[in-house]
Structure 1
Amino acid sequence: MNARRTTPVTEPAWQVGLVWVGFPVLGAAVLWGVQAIADWVVSLPWAPFRGPFRLVASIPEPQATLGSLGLGVLVGLVVAFLAAAERLSVEVADEAVVLKRGGDERALDRTRISGVFLDGKKLVVLGLGTEELARESSDLPTAELADAFQRHGYPWLPEDPYRDEYRRWVEDMPGVPPAANALLRARAKALKKGETEDVAQLRTELARIGVVVREEGKRQFWRLSQQGEQD
């Protein structure tokens, strides 16, 4: 550890390397396969997308093979770059936790944190009022995360201590704060459309009125934090 007693947790080097190598190789293989079957697809009168396949089949060799391999590698590198931008890293220190993803960085003060746990692939940081300060998708090693937080004195929990308090959200169900129904309704639509940025923003808005939300697939489950219970 450095002078600030900071413990970083990142994805293993082999896992990062696999992404940077695997996606380009996969991209090259897929596009080479498309190029290789183009003539056969064009010969089938019932096959869909015959126009694009006819265009591919019209490219002479070796340009067709070299082009498909090169384009596949390029596409794979783009996907690997996007994956790198979404990769979470964590820095745990005695006084704070810093969550980094792409160019974004969030610092959570130690005095606000009551516990940390993993909910499947989600790293969850709980606040003093039972609210969630963070819920971040993560492929970080569980053992390294647990060791880092425990080393700096944070309560590492085996599971969500409030899991039994969640109820599945149904529109206009009793007990949901009036303002939350509209937000949950909008969030349900965003989940259905895969609009991840809106999903995250609406989670933040719900937290401000004391509602904690998590999802299983497209289904939403909610509970009240202590702030919401007092309101």
Structure 2
Amino acid sequence: MSATTPTDETELRMTLDTKIVIWVVCAALGVSLGLALPWLLQNIASWPIPFIDQLKFLGSFDAPIMVIGRPAILGIIGIVIAFVITYQSARLRISDTQITITEGDDSRLISRDQVGGVFRHGGKVRIESPEGRVLFDDDVEGGKHRITAAFQKHGYPWEGA
């Protein structure tokens, strides 16, 4: 969503609600895969998959620790993947003079005079220099109207409809 800060910056970032949904879905997918793994491996045993014998061997264990352990371990792996996804999602702080882009631990500034145009394509936002060089091209959370309004509010050359 977007929020205006006291320094008249607009921030576009993934909301906590969206992060929680991603965390829950990825964990649930991991647990589901752990529960369904023996059945899946039996049904795809005839397919030409590399290392299928090793996978069938791992899926054949039916000891109580494996019945509980597979879903638990794959659920944890799902949560780790979800944390990486949400941590690496782009956060933009837009002001009248610059755009600060933060992705994970990396942060960079794009000054106002470097921006030649901003537009959406698909689910992504693209920021280009006046020469056409791509300065940013990634997903941005906040919805079409909020993203458009954020860039237009600060006077950036919005080229989208």
Structure 1 length as normaliser, TM-score? 0.59
Aligned equivalents of 2:140, 2:21: Cα separation in 1:
13
Q: Pick 1 or 2: higher relative contact order, CA cutoff 8 A, min separation 6.
A: 2
Is contact 1:97–1:108 with CA below 8 Å preserved after alignment? yes
Which sections of structure 1, spanning at least 5 residues, go unmatched? 160-231
Paired letter, 1:30: L
Correspondence for 2:144: 142
Correspondence for 2:24: 21
Q: Offset of 1:45 from its aligned partner?
A: 8.0
Aligned equivalents of 2:30, 2:69: Cα separation in 1:
12
Which of the two has higher C-alpha Rg? 1
Aligned equivalents of 2:6, 2:45: Cα separation in 1:
70
Correspondence for 1:92: 94
Q: Offset of 1:136 from its aligned partner?
A: 2.0
The correspondence for 1:124, drawn from 108, 123, 126, is 126
Which sections of structure 2, spanning at least 5 residues, go unmatched? none
Is 1:33 aligned to residue 36 of structure 2? yes
Paired letter, 2:18: Q
Q: Offset of 1:94 from its aligned partner?
A: 1.0
**Gap change, CA 1:32 and 1:114, over 3 Å in 2:** same
* Secondary structure in 1 matching 2:156: coil
Aligned equivalents of 1:153, 1:139: Cα separation in 2:
18
Correspondence for 1:112: 114
Correspondence for 1:211: none
Is contact 2:45–2:56 with CA below 8 Å preserved after alignment? no
Aligned equivalents of 1:124, 1:117: Cα separation in 2:
5
The correspondence for 2:11, drawn from 1, 8, 13, is 8
Q: Which runs of 4+ in 1 moved over 6 A?
A: none
Corresponding pairs, count: 154
